[in-house]
Every structure is written in C-alpha cells, then in structure tokens.
Amino acid sequence: MSLSPAEELLFARRSARAFLKDPVPRADLERILRAARSAPSGANLQPGRFHALTGAPLADLSAALLGAIEEGRPQVAQYSYFPTPLPPALKAKQRAAGYALYAALGIARRDLAGRRAQFTRNYAFFDAPVGIVVTIEPEMGKGCFMDLGMALMALMVAAQGMGYATCGIGALANYADVAHAHLGLGDDELVVCGMALGRADPEAPVNKVETARDTLETYASLRGFS
C-alpha cells in the first residue's frame, strides 16, 4: 500500500543538526508560520508566539546564550520540560537517542567534553540560517501546551513539504531567562523552546540519525475492529 502525501512527509521528517548556509526567504518563512497557525486549538485560543530570527539578530541571540554558558550562569527554566525524576523507561529512551546521535558524530560514550560541546550547539541553533524562539502566555493551561505542540508539528511538516528541515530545541528552555531578556519579551510570554530551520546538509552524518519509535502495540489499543 502506497503512502499518502501526508504520511510521506511525516515519515521523511528528521531532526536536522547540520544546515547549509542557504538563506530562507521571508516569504517562505511566512508561509510556514501561517501553516503552523492552522493547527487546531481548544476554543480556538491559538496559544503561542513565534519569534523568528536570521542574520545578525540570530547571531546576537546565540552569542548571548553561549556567553551565559561560558560564564557558568545557572540555568533558569520557566517551566518543567521533563518529569523529575525521569522514570527508568523514559531515561532509557533518552540515552538511546543520545548514543545514536553521538555515535553518528564519532563521539565516544565516555567523551564527556565532546558530548557537552555537541549539546552546546543547541544554543547556536546548529548554525541554521533561521532560529525561532517559541513562547506561550504564562497563564495558559497544560492543554494549551498541547495545542502549541500541534502548531509546532504543523510548522515542521509545512517546512518539510517546502524542502526545509527543522530541529526542535528544548534545551533553549534551560536559559529561558537569557532569551527572554535578550529579545525584550514581556511578562505575557514564557519561553517554551527553540527551533532551527533551513536546508539540511545532505552530507552531514548527524542528519542520517534515525531514532527508534515505539511499536503500535505499545502505545495504542484498538477495540471493536475486525
């Protein structure tokens, strides 16, 4: 059975961590962001905002984030991204994904310095030509975070359909205060995550990493079907 166009986009999508320097035209980015906003949301609240940067503004933000790390500035997140503590089953998934990534980059499991250096590249948006800072109104409930997640997936799929690649950057939340202050955001915005966007480097080994997905039986139950 052949895949539908939507399935082809979904199954082809990968988190890219190496990008070509090709700029992203403003018109393309506007199309992608409009597609993101087409996602459904409870009561049509349409939670979340997208601050897209390129060129000098993106370089300045990356410099501020990397500077905070070099100074040893404490991490200040504005919400909890992962459960604390992470249950063993989820920790195993996290480690497997990390090992696959580092193996593709030739970073040994005990090479802590190499792993830290690679993780720090999150704050340079992996040198993508476009970086997006995603925010949400602090008073929004957990369901609104779900709605924002659907918008982010719509953004990724729209970008994929236009020949662009993306990578969500949850690590940006670790230095939410730095991004918040640098962008001059108000009290009505909470930094959720970042997003790197551009043309993926097809030769980069890191872009060939495929993480495992759970089997259908582990996360879904089908009742009443023949």
What is the reported pTM? 0.95
pLDDT at 29: 98
Q: What percent of the chain has pLDDT over 90?
A: 85
Closest C-alpha to 48, from 127, 148, 123: 148
The string of pLDDT tens digits covering residues 20-34 is 999 999 999 999 999
pLDDT of residue 81 exceeding 90, the answer is no
Report pLDDT for 120.
Answer: 95
What confidence score (pLDDT) does residue 109 get? 83
Query: In sequence order, what are the residues at sequence separation of 6 or more whose Cβ sits closer than 8 angstroms to the Cβ of residue 96?
Result: 211, 212
What is residue 53's predicted lDDT score, i.e. its pLDDT? 98
What distances in angstroms separate CA 47 from CA 9, 18, 129, one per listed residue? 25, 30, 25
Summarize pLDDT for 155-184 with one digit per residue, the tens.
999 999 999 999 999 999 999 999 999 999
32-44 in b/e form (b: 16+ CB < 10 A) is: bbebbeebebeee
Domain coordinates in residue numbering, the chain: 5-82+124-206
CATH architecture assigned to 5-82+124-206:
3-Layer(aba) Sandwich (3.40)
What pLDDT is recorded for position 182?
98
Q: Are the C-beta atoms of 148 and 133 separated by less than 8 Å?
A: no
pLDDT in tens, 112-158: 898 899 999 999 999 999 999 999 999 999 999 999 999 999 999 99
Peptide bond into 88 cis (omega under 30): no
Measured over the CA atoms of residue 178, residue 182, residue 32 and residue 135, the dihedral's sign is positive
